Amino acid sequence: MGDLRTVTQRLGYARRRSLAHMSSHAWHEHERTRHRWATGFGIHRTDKTENEAYWLEGTKALPDYRSRPPSGRQVPTNKHPIQSFLWGDFTAKPSHRYTYRVVAIRGTPEAPVEAEAIDLSVDTEDEGRDLHDIHFNRGAISSQAYTARFGERKPPEVGAEAYDWLSRGLKEAMIRFIAKASGGNYKLARLSTSSSFPQFSTRFHSAKMTGADIQIIYDAKFNSKGPKAKNEIRNQG
């Protein structure tokens, strides 16, 4: 969290939380500035690791903006402010140091004015540094980004590039983790709803062949859409 005195004097208060690939921010406007109408908030990011600085972009444009861009196109948040008190940056990179500046954008949509601001420093996590890691793949929240990158094609139509992008390191981390279980001194337990990637089942089987204790719990619901049959086939052995 940033300097509370600075926050109180300028914008309000703010909190931030970061992982390896994302950081989330929430802020509150101070009572002394609420009477001043704002179109929203812009977020400026300084990348201290790669020595870059720029306004972050979003996909929501102001509805009354004269030159409103096509749907789905990225627009800078200082020109099309965020009309929310919560923002997530899903373009962050592991082991990076960032400074985010949340800026109240006042004026009009045609002539935005940067006003009160607060800076927040964030250090994203280093993948694989600690004993335990938490990985998040890209899901429904990234659907617009997926469409902008790959169009209307489904992952099987795109191939490995789409799956690698959706994985965001999760698949690779799991493969590395399973590979560590070699021999009878190791035990691996897996809980999953489905076995979509044959690579995982193959890796678990290879670990078991070395003598590792492998236990797998999976969804065995039996109906027309249930994954029971596929799970049983992929988890055999």
DSSP the chain: ---HHHHHHHTEEEEEEE-SS-EEEEEEE-GGGTTS---EEEEEEEETTTTEEEE-EESPPPTT-TTPPPTT--EETTTS-B-SSEEEETT--TT-EEEEEEEEEEE-SSSEEEEEEEEEEEE---TT-SSS-------GGGHHHHHHHHTT--HHHH-HHHHHHHHTTHHHHHHHHHHT--STT-EEEEEES----HHHHHHHHHHHHTT-EEEEEE----SSS-SHHHHHHHT--
Please check whether residues 108 and 195 belong to one and the same domain: no
Q: Give the mean model confidence (pLDDT) for residues 187-208.
A: 82
Q: Of the candidates 76, 101, 123, which is a domain's last residue?
A: 123
Position 12 confidence tier, pLDDT thresholds 50, 70, 90: very low
The answer to whether residue 19 sits within a structural domain is yes
Give me the percent of the chain exceeding a pLDDT of 90: 18
In a domain, 153, yes or no: no
Structure confidence at residue 67 (pLDDT): 56
Query: Considering the domain boundaries, does residue 98 fall inside one?
Result: yes
In this structure, are 94 and 190 located in the same domain?
no
Q: Are residues 9 and 118 in the same domain?
A: yes
Question: Is the domain of 106 the same as that of 198?
Answer: no
pLDDT, mean of residues 9-38: 56
- The predicted model gives 67-85 an average pLDDT of 76
Task: Return the percentage of the chain with pLDDT > 70, whole number.
Answer: 68
Residue 119 lies in domain: 4-123
Last residue of a domain, which of 123, 143, 167? 123
Domain membership of residue 68 (yes or no) is yes
Answer yes or no: do 115 and 9 share one domain.
yes
Between the ranges 191-195, 204-208, 230-234, where is the mean pLDDT highest? 204-208
| Same-domain status, 34 and 107 | yes
What pLDDT, on a 0 to 100 scale, did the predictor assign at position 217? 80
Counted domains in the chain: 2
Average pLDDT, the chain: 76
71 is a domain residue: yes
Whether residues 24 and 105 share a domain: the answer is yes
Residues 190 and 110 in one domain: no
Residue 161 domain-assigned (yes or no)? no
Coil, strand, or helix at residue 96?
coil
Looking at the structure, tell me whether residues 108 and 201 fall in a common domain.
no
Same domain, 8 and 77: yes
> Which domain CATH number covers 114?
2.60.40.10
Determine the pLDDT at residue 55.
94
Greater model confidence, 214 or 68: 214
Same-domain status, 26 and 96: yes
Q: What is the model's pLDDT at position 39?
A: 81
Per-residue confidence (pLDDT) for residue 152, from 0 to 100: 86
Is residue 9 in a domain? yes
- What pLDDT is recorded for position 187? 92
Structural domain ending residue among the three candidates 104, 123, 142: 123
Summarize pLDDT for 146-176 with one digit per residue, the tens. 888 888 899 889 988 988 888 888 888 888 8
- Shared-domain flag, residues 81 and 189: no
Calpha distance 21→92 (Å, rounded): 5
Domain-located, residue 54 = yes
